[in-house]
Structure 1
Amino acid sequence: MTPTASMVISGVSGWLSGARAAENANGPADAIARQNMLQLIHLRWIAVLGQVVTILAVHFSLGFKVPLAAMMLVLAGLVALNLFSLLRLKRGAPLGPYDLFAALALDALALTAQLYFSGGATNPFTTLYLLHVILGAVLLEAWATWAIVALTTFCFVMLLSFNRPIIASGLSDQAFFDLFLMGMLLGIVLDALLLVTFVGRINANLRRHDARLAELRQRAAEETHIVRMGLLASGAAHELGTPLATLDVILGDWRRMPIFAGNPELAQELEDMRGEVRRCKSIVTGVLMSAGEARGGEVRVSTLRAFMDEVAGEWRATRGDQALVYETDLVAKTPIAAESTLKQVIHNVLDNALEASPGAVRLWVGASEGWLRIQVDDDGPGFTDETLENFGAPYNSTKGRAGGGLGLFLVVNVLRKLGGAARAENRTEGGARVVLTLPLAALEIEDGRDA
């Protein structure tokens, strides 16, 4: 078989099985409904295949005369229903409360038609009605489950009322009874196997749905935690603004006093104090700007390379020139909106690395295929297994102090809001590595340009 033919067959097989059909889901609830519909589609394919084999075997091998044309027409209807269901899953519209109910109801009607043409109520495969009822109890709401119960009951009553006996040529009554018992056995075994298989799959879908909901609840709790911390930081920044301004004024007045004007050492210390006060004021302003409370003009425009150079330069200026080895392969001048929150994120990771490995921190920045990658390495002791497993969780820290771990918690959540992610690992040669990735589209002003 040629590779092209193999790809075509694989594609057709994947489409018929509904592979990736649940990717158009509109939320977790729709995703679970689509997965359950896929289970019904798979079950229907099995039913079609099994009925073809059974009908042909009964008609040609066992001597029972059944209306082949009518029964094959019912199977063609099931195939058409499956194809329609697959097309329905390809659409973006969410599955409604009646979709699964309609699918099970049509399957029950198709089963009734096949039973009518092959012995009616005396057909041993009437036990398959229980499969529809149990699946309805698992998949459907209460009203729909009772509707399926009513429908299957009505169908069986109709089979009793309009019984169409099957004609068996050349079989004694005992042989006919033995075949009936064998059919009952096969029907019960088939019910059990299908129920265990498909109810197990449906329960697995429900467990994944519950896990997804738990993850969303955890994320919402973390974001609420961030909001509380942001409000606390914003309030503290407002409170610190007034005393810092007062100190700046007082220190400015002291500069003109004779005792400082005539003493160069005191004058220098005074200037150092004023510099630290100005730095504190700058930090407070940055906190307020990050909280969206102090926008001084339009959003600052920069380039990706200039922004990263600025991030590295500012961090170096306050931590020592020898503390950082900075490398980048950014070349082109991609215009971006300079994100102060991203700068704080990178500084936070660099601070953690410097604390673990003083004087041995490396920063590498690169971009490819629309993604920005920021890598920070250190030569410290590395992360513990527990820290790696819970990376980004609040208060997950190896520093052993109260409140530790909030820095990386903020890093992970800020990147997540920008559409990116953060991961940590221990390097084989020793030390730790933190990798930040985010889409360039989250920063770029003009789309379609690479760094």
Structure 2
Amino acid sequence: MSPARNNWLRLRTVIGLRWGAIGGQLLAVLIAHFVLGIDLAFELCVAVVLLSLAVNLSGTIVLPENKRLSAEYTAAILLFDLFQLAIMLYLTGGLTNPFVVLIVGPVVIAASALPVVQTVVLGGVALCLTSALGFWYRPMTIAGSEVLDLPDIYLFGMWLAVTIFTLFFGFYAARVTRDNNAMSEALVATQMALSREQRLSSLGGVVAAAAHELGTPLATIKLAAGELADDLASLPDADPRFAEDAQLIRAQADRCRDILADMGRAGKDDLHLHFVPLEALLHEAAEPHLDRGKEVIFRLDGHLESVRMLEQPVAARTPEVVHGLRNLVQNAVDFAQTTVWIDASWDDDRLRITVGDDGHGYPEDMIGRLGDPFLGRRKRRTWLRPGYEGMGLGLFIAKTLLERSGAVLTFTNGTEPKRRRGALTEPDLANPPGAVVDVQWPRELIAPLKDASRAALGQNSRNDEEQV
């Protein structure tokens, strides 16, 4: 468990749970003594319950209600609860008391909220106390004289059941909590990545607005500089350097205006490019990784060049799709030896993008778990991914974002890992021999066949001209 999660348990939550436990213990003692007629050390039992009540009251009064408890403080409270419960069980029959199973509760809470060390310690204490209750306890008597005496085989069965419950539920709670924490952290990272991509996409609009707003003051500067230059030129005694400076200001204002005009056009174009040709989408996703020393080959429907430029789909250019594909390309470039392949194919029903490399491929025993966050333990597989100590977060982000757009991802290998491969004599025509990620969308979700509103930039205007 990360240090940031060690202080997340609220005092209010612990106090509330302990009030429930105190009420339950007091109610059980009262019913057993006055209703069922069981002879037990009533005064001692009430005293033990009142001790727990005093501890709860002191915590409520001394500490602020919104306090976040540290792992050590929470472990101390649970340790106190274990001993308090063990004393209550000692006074009420030990393992003959069916409520002995409640000793599992603090261990489960520890497994859900505390690091492994504190959980193991509390689990060990719970098992030791349970074992002690099998030998030392105050027998319960019924109707004033009949001692509740159960066979040893029953007591052993109760001890074994509590031991198994403690181990199983403790491990189960710890594992589920760890997976939930990992998923939560990975989803936060995914949201941050998507937010960053959306902010970058929205910069086009900011640039266009800035170019529009700065146009007027630049025109004013240019006009004032021109008039100043003309006035200086008409003065016979004026220093010619002043006129040159005025002309320079005017020229630089013209330059700024041209730069802002280009930026404004680019920003407006970016806002309109919600749907682009499939080839442009693939190039945009791969662009940051094209100059990293690996050859990246693009193939549309099996062709290297854009021979089907007029026939290729117009695909949705969303931050989820762009960033998801970019992460897949980054992963392929990281682990490729020399070449990365990005293949796209389509028909009337589906659009498919495949990203592959000529690296060693995915470990066979991990293919089924690829896309889960924080796989870790990569050091044991350095022969497959040398120099890589990642946690699987990149693939998780890519998988999450692309699945959000409606895609289905399949991870596989071109050939069996560790198998000797021959040299690729014609990389342009080869199939990726290493790791391969297959991404498929239903065609209507990413590149509808007939939808005028989803045409590429300029397509609508051409259609309108043809109709006229």
User: Larger helix proportion, structure 1 or 2?
Assistant: 1
Fold match (TM-score > 0.5): no
After TM superposition, the score normalised by the length of structure 2 is: 0.36
